[in-house]
Structure 1
Amino acid sequence: MAYTTAQLLEILDQELKAAWRGERVLLSTDRRLDNPVISKALGSDKVSKVFAFQDFRAQIHQYQNEHSVSGIVWHECRFKSRTIRFPEIHQQLTAIPEDKLALIGAKTEVIDFWRASIDGLRLWRAGNPPEPVSLARVNTLIKQAEWAEVDATRSELYLILCWGNPKECYYTWAYPESGCERIIAAVAEPSGIKV
């Protein structure tokens, strides 16, 4: 019987703690980091801890794929008087093919929650600086996205519209094959929190 997602997360947590306590050692880390300045600044002990955990996490990802263990956890978002619970890929796990289908399947519910929550708020496209965006433009972005996520502070609601690889979509280097458009709904200008 395969480990569950929760069990894998517990194993990863234990391994991370063990690595930071110095109980995991990776020899020859100097060959793993191409930048000698960063390697020297961090020291071989810290570099060893990072690579030891990365290697272990790669084994967990391989296990997930071999045994079809989902990388999905459930995220709860509250904004105003509304609450939604939707799937997302845990940052330490990988997505198996079925996970992307679950993300896609939750898109309509996430978008409905977002639309019901933005009354009276102005829309901004995240960037530096954020720029105002029309609801019509956001609707176009919604149609283009494969799945959606939301997050919130007390006064701002963030809509994240994603496509491509669920583990790469948050990184700019993955664009255009994978990516995310981020929309901020706020009373006035966004607070500057990075989404």
Structure 2
Amino acid sequence: MTKVYTTKELIQILASERQACLKGERLKLDVTVSGSPILDQFIQAEGLQKFTAYQDFKAAIHQYQSENNVSGIIWQEVTVKGKKLSYPEVDAQLAALTSDIEILKAAKNEILEFWEEVILGMDLYLSINHGKLHQQIEIEDYFRITKRSEWAGLLVYEKSKFLEIVLQLGWGKPEEACYKRGFPASGSEYIHAVNPGQQPIT
């Protein structure tokens, strides 16, 4: 019987392959920058060749996940203001199975309840223009966004005098929801909570 790699093993394999690609040990040599042989001789194509080699490998891993029913879910734990939450998310390099998306949907309300509890008294900002800008919003705006989202994720950034709690409200496939790659079928909105008078930095 053929061994099926676990989620953890696939994450490690992808990390090793990414390093190999970054070091130039893996290149997709048939990739050109402009498609023009005359122009391409003056342009460094190696960066694009490294990136494409890794993207091809990652696509093969996603196919492997689908064929072997290997989940992309990892469990995260976060503590904010003395309150702890364990929640699922899809690893940034893996794909979500249909069953993974159901797990994310089932965890949404618990994540929202935690977020609502720890952001009391904080200012809220909506990430706009692909995260380059932040627009202050009210709690009512947050509730409207939650209604059209299917799943949620968290990111906490904390330093001695600074706290930012980012809530990702997504729909569709998590691996396509970042950076609007799969929009409109998949996507995310990001709401940043910071202490009054502070601005989001992520």
Could you state the TM-score of these two structures normalised by the residue count of structure 2?
A: 0.82
Mapped partners of 2:28, 2:140: distance in 1: 53
The range that moved more, 184-193 or 114-123, is: 184-193
How much has 1:173 moved relative to structure 2?
Answer: 4.7
Mapped partners of 1:185, 1:81: distance in 2: 17
Is 1:166 the counterpart of 2:174? The answer is yes
How much has 1:175 moved relative to structure 2?
Answer: 3.0
Is 1:3 the counterpart of 2:5? The answer is yes
- Runs of 5+ in structure 1 lacking a partner? none
Which of 183, 189, 197 matches 1:181?
Answer: 189
| Aligned 8 A contact 1:39 1:47 in 2 | no
Secondary structure of the equivalent of 1:148? strand
Structure 1 runs of 4+ aligned residues shifted over 6 Å read 35-39
Per-residue displacement from partner, 1:131-176 (whole Å, max 9, x unpaired)? 2222122112212210111212221211111112211112235333
Q: Determine which structure has the larger strand proportion and give its number.
A: 2
How much has 1:7 moved relative to structure 2?
Answer: 0.8
The range that moved more, 90-99 or 120-129, is: 120-129
How much has 1:190 moved relative to structure 2?
Answer: 4.5
Is 1:18 the counterpart of 2:20? The answer is yes
- Runs of 5+ in structure 2 lacking a partner? none
Is 1:141 the counterpart of 2:142? The answer is no
Secondary structure of the equivalent of 2:124? strand
Is 1:100 the counterpart of 2:108? The answer is no
Mapped partners of 2:164, 2:48: distance in 1: 38
Partner of residue 85, structure 2: 84
The 1:22/1:108 distance shift into structure 2, 3 A limit, reads same
The range that moved more, 70-79 or 123-132, is: 123-132
Identity level (%): 34
How much has 1:107 moved relative to structure 2?
Answer: 0.5
